Amino acid sequence: MKVKEIAVGLIHLLYPRLCEGCAKPLLTAEQVLCTGCNAHLPKTDYHDHHDNDTALRLAGRIPFQHATSFAYFTNDGLLQHLMHGLKYNSKKEIGLYLGRQFGIDLSGSTWISGIDFILPVPLSRKKEAKRGYNQSTLIVRGMSDTLNIPVLYDALLRTRDTESQTQKSRAERIDNMKDAFTIHHPQLLAQKHVLIIDDVLTTGATIEACALALKDVPGIKISVASIGLAN
């Protein structure tokens, strides 16, 4: 056994990496979730179904080519637990992990090879300053690693801070996000097919605002996706 392998083994023995789902020690090849918990992620598996739940939630509101979500986001569910750790407990590795897993699932889709750039939804300046990072940026980094599609981190910019969406109705969410985004270097997006990524889609107000900011770029095609799809 090599010295490096021995050192890694000792580190894992003294400071075991635990599964974010069941808290059992992870095997060397496992990341964030053990194989069993990963198998229990409530994945949607509808990335090539045009009239899926995500697409229907956005239909008629914005022009888009494809819309999908990685997994269902339910109260007290596994994905909610993971997203809470990512957003509020500084567990950045969860964002990278979910992005990679989503990328693996999307790699078999018929349309993903036509995407030119991945765009993360910008976080409000106050939230990013408080958190220290944008969870969507970590997710798209993981997706890019898997799909080998470049990311434009600053193509979408926040024009203002918005209130929390959590307790708002659909109409209030849409009004809250109105004109909240602008585009940077639109010439880079002309004639391109972009994939906008958000963490959790509820009413779709945030992704709608992003898409509306992009829609007038000449020749642009827009697809949208989220890690979670809330009830």
The answer to whether residues 33 and 47 belong to one domain is no
Q: 118 and 66, same structural domain?
A: yes
Q: How confident is the model at residue 127 (pLDDT cuts 50, 70, 90)?
A: confident
Q: Are 196 and 52 in contact (CB under 8 A)?
A: no
The tens digit of pLDDT for each residue in 92-112 reads 999 999 999 999 999 999 999
CA dihedral 211, 201, 150, 117 (to 10 degrees): -20
Is the domain of 22 the same as that of 103? no
Q: Are residues 19 and 114 in the same domain?
A: no
Q: What percent of the chain has pLDDT over 70?
A: 86
Assess whether 14 and 98 both reside in one domain.
no
- 88 has pLDDT over 80: yes
pLDDT band at 37 (very low <50, low <70, confident <90, very high): very high
Higher pLDDT, 115 or 166: 115
pLDDT at 164: 61
Same domain for 86 and 190, yes or no, is yes
Does 133 share its domain with 166? yes
- Cβ distance 52 to 68 under 8 Å? yes
Asked whether residue 121 carries a pLDDT value surpassing 80, the answer given is yes
> Which residues neighbour 172 within 8 Å (Cβ) at sequence distance 6 or greater?
none
Residue 165's pLDDT is what?
Answer: 56
**Residue 2, pLDDT score:** 65
- The 3-class SS string of the chain reads CCHHHHHHHHHHHHCCCECCCCCCECCCCCECECHHHHHCCCECCCCCCCCCHHHHHHCCCCCCCCEEEEEEECCCCHHHHHHHHHHHCCCHHHHHHHHHHHHHHHCCCCCHHHCCEEEECCCCHHHHHHHCCCHHHHHHHHHHHHHCCCECCCCEEECCCCCCCCCCCHHHHHHHHCCCEEECCHHHCCCCEEEEEEEEECCCHHHHHHHHHHCCCCCCEEEEEEEEEEC
Residue 126's pLDDT band (cuts 50, 70, 90): confident
pLDDT band at 159 (very low <50, low <70, confident <90, very high): confident
pLDDT bin (cut points 50, 70, 90) of residue 170 is low
- What is the domain-level CATH number for residue 117? 3.40.50.2020
How much of the chain exceeds pLDDT 90, in percent?
75
Answer yes or no: do 25 and 138 share one domain. no
Query: Is there a single domain that holds both residue 145 and residue 58?
Result: yes
For residue 167, the model assigns a pLDDT of 53
- Considering the domain architecture, whether residues 29 and 131 belong to the same structural domain is answered as no
Asked whether residue 150 falls in the same domain as residue 197, the answer is yes
Mean pLDDT of 164-184: 68
Question: Is there a single domain that holds both residue 133 and residue 182?
Answer: yes
pLDDT digits (tens, 9 = 90+) for 199-217: 999 999 999 999 999 999 9
What pLDDT, on a 0 to 100 scale, did the predictor assign at position 162?
A: 61
The domain in which residue 131 lies consists of: 42-230
Whether 125 has a pLDDT exceeding 60, the answer reads: yes
User: How far is residue 29 from each of residues 25, 69, 95, 96, measured CA to CA in Å?
Assistant: 12, 26, 18, 15
- Dihedral sign for Cα 24, 70, 209, 182, please: positive
pLDDT at 108: 93
Our count of domains for the chain comes to 2
Per-residue pLDDT at 1 exceeds 60: no
